[in-house]
Structure 1
Amino acid sequence: MSLTLRPDVCATDTADGMVLLDEITGRYWQLNRTAALVLRGLVDGAEPPDVARALCEAYPRITAERADADTASIARADRGPVGGVHMSQPMVPATRSRLPLRRRPAALLATATARLIVTLRPHRIRRILSVVRRGAAPATTGQALASREAVVAVSARCAGEGCLQRSVATALLCRMRGVWPDWCIGVRTAPFRAHAWVEVDGLPVGEPHRPGEYQRMMVVPAALPEERRPERRP
């Protein structure tokens, strides 16, 4: 028996096991370490009895009957979702500075457009942003931070817990200026939280969380590897 994840389901390993994201429905599944072991075995093409045996070897306290039942449950893919597409990163509202009038129209347009985009399913959000970012140069930390501060200044939702809208608006405003940061959606466990943000060179921009605290699940990068120009040799 071989279990295959659909192309629109992405997975990431966590310290507690694994998290799956269905990009069509926007639902998450959180798997503990034993469930992650079973899923990896089935995806790798192992038969359920072999996976159950491996589970008992890795966790001696699990009985053979329990291992068989858990393996069959994963094989039927009947685990329930633990969340939806909404982002749930709790945060203190960001400080909102006054934005010069000449910079307000672009920031307002970016936040308004982002508000429409974030109503879509995750795979459509990724598709739209992937098209929009084409031809943009990688953003610097200063450029990404300036865009983030601008959308926060004109939108109370972006200044609060609307991290999905804030991240999309930040990326869009960067694109209006000809650049693009890495746009990311990720999760952490214990407790489960989903979050969206932008980063540059692997570092979150303007975010309170530490690098690596959230495992990235969806990314629209500043430039795809094949699009990056090779360095010129002297």
Structure 2
Amino acid sequence: MVLESWLMLFYFDCVMRFRDFKRLHTVVREQTVHAVARTEVTSEQLCHAVDLACVFYFKRVQCLQRSAAAAVVLRRRGWEAEMVIGAQLLPFLSHAWVEIDGRVVNDKPYVTEIFHVLERC
């Protein structure tokens, strides 16, 4: 799972470097939820694998890259994950995280109180 997560981080790093946000958004949005038994691996285990992959990645991983990778990995394992992009006005900050059934799974649960949701995919 960690290797798969690392490869997704690398893929989204390349997308962000050589393409644009629109392409990243499209890839995440079009990733379908695979019909597999979710009892195999929990969403917490998958998010932990993505976090470990971030530790072993060769450069600092941004929240958008991490959340895109987590959403795709979760969907491939049968979880209906949504990548959420939000912003705070003053001071201006943006952030991305992943939710399953409205519950934040790859970040602190209070990010929904700090950031206004701009996009879900």
TM-score, normalized by length of structure 2?
0.74
Q: Pairwise CA RMSD of aligned residues?
A: 2.8
Give the deviation of 1:135 after TM superposition. Answer: 4.3
Q: Which residue of 2 aligns with 1:173?
A: 73
**Long gaps (5+) in structure 1:** 1-102, 221-234
Give the deviation of 1:198 after TM superposition. Answer: 0.2
* In structure 2, distance between residues paired with 1:190 and 1:126: 25
Shift of the 194–209 alpha-carbon distance from structure 1 to 2, 3 Å rule, reads farther
* In structure 1, distance between residues paired with 2:79 and 2:114: 26
| 1:115 correspondence with 2:13 | yes
Give the deviation of 1:170 after TM superposition. Answer: 0.6
**Long gaps (5+) in structure 2:** none
Give the deviation of 1:188 after TM superposition. Answer: 0.9
Larger Rg: 1
| 1:198 correspondence with 2:98 | yes
Matched-pair contact (CA < 8 Å) for 2:97–2:107: yes
Give the deviation of 1:200 after TM superposition. Answer: 1.7
Q: Which residue of 1 aligns with 2:115?
A: 214
Which amino acid is 2:82 matched to? D
TM-score, normalized by length of structure 1?
0.42
Give the deviation of 1:115 after TM superposition. Answer: 1.8
Give the deviation of 1:122 after TM superposition. Answer: 2.4
Q: Deviations over 1:120-154 (max 9, x none)?
A: 3222222121222x2446x89x8333222101112
Shift of the 189–123 alpha-carbon distance from structure 1 to 2, 3 Å rule, reads same
SS of 1:190's equivalent in the other structure is coil
The structure carrying a bigger helix percent of its residues is 2
Matched-pair contact (CA < 8 Å) for 2:71–2:98: yes
Identity %: 24
* In structure 1, distance between residues paired with 2:24 and 2:5: 19
Q: Which residue of 2 aligns with 1:125?
A: 24
